[in-house]
A and B are shown apart, each in its own frame.
Chain A
Amino acid sequence: MAVLNPDHLFEQANKLITIQVGPPRQVDIRRAISAAYYATFHATITAAADQFIGVTNRDTSRYGLVYRSVSHAWLRDLCKEVQKPTLSNKFKPHAPSNGFGPNITAFAAAVVELQEKRHAADYDVMIRMNKSDAVLAISTAKAALRRFNKTSKARRLAYLSVLLFPPR
């Protein structure tokens, strides 16, 4: 099992936009933005798989199954849901009694935004992306993961539970 280290993705992103002389190429800016999103994606999925399968079981096939069970679309939908001032009825029973809180909602806002940027970076050739946006996408992604890691255990567990076991 080769769990991707989010710090390495951030380092890769920074290298892509800083090592050249002159303005970075569009391909490098776009890959940097994509890497910033993937750092948050993999960190989140790793947290979920570690929580429910266990860090010591990372080399088992069930860890791989859980890791691959979360789609980008579902992560995005859940992140949109937890940002709502009032949760949908099917989510309410699974939310912490005092809500998901500001750290999870800030993290969720960043995930949705970064996923949108990642999609544009990978597919939208009609826009020109720039270095400033890539630099700040990386900073935002790092801050989002710090907020996620600062979240109380109860709130994080509630979020990761719903991420892996979507309510029906």
Chain B
Amino acid sequence: MLDEKRIREIVQEVATANLTSANVSSVTSSAAIDSEGHDALRITIVIKPGSASRIKGDATLDTLVGIQDRLRAEGEERFPIVEYATKKELSASGGS
């Protein structure tokens, strides 16, 4: 099991390589439970405003595969749930 700092480093490297630094602001990681009840990782890639419409599907798919491959290669067995949000979306509160 990798520590959160190393997980963030890996995710930042993979995300920047595939999505470019023009679209990626930062990344976060936290422990989670997947839908089957197993330990998982919730990874949030914080993107810049307007980036969601600019980022191509092949780039997000390569990011997903890259994160999974790198984490697995370093011995991390938890399933990464990769999410995207802008800072504004992360700070939004209340339901609609």
Contact, CB under 8 Å: B84 / A136: yes
Contact, CB under 8 Å: A113 / B81: yes
Number of B residues near A (Cβ < 8 Å) is 29
At the interface, yes or no: A45 with Cβ under 8 Å from chain B?
no
At the interface, yes or no: A161 with Cβ under 8 Å from chain B?
no
User: How many Å lie between the Cα of A143 and that of B61 in the bound state?
Assistant: 7
Tell me which of A63-71, A92-100, A125-133, A152-160 binds B: A125-133
At the interface, yes or no: A110 with Cβ under 8 Å from chain B?
yes
Contact with A along B55-68 (1 / 0, CB 8 A): 11110111011001
CB-defined contacts of B56 to chain A, threshold 8 Å: 139, 143
Q: Which single member of A119, A120, A133 contacts B84 (CB below 8 Å)? A: A133
Number of A residues near B (Cβ < 8 Å) is 33
CB-defined contacts of B60 to chain A, threshold 8 Å: 136, 139-140, 143
Query: Could you list 4 further interchain pairs (A-B, Cβ under 8 angstroms) beyond the known A23-B96, A106-B64, A136-B57?
Result: A23-B92, A113-B82, A143-B56, A146-B58
B interface vs A, CB < 8 Å?
Answer: 34-35, 47, 51-53, 55-58, 60-62, 64-65, 68, 72, 79, 81-86, 89-90, 92, 95-96
A interface vs B, CB < 8 Å?
Answer: 23, 25-26, 83, 85, 105-106, 109-110, 112-113, 115-117, 119-120, 123, 128, 130-133, 135-136, 138-144, 146-147
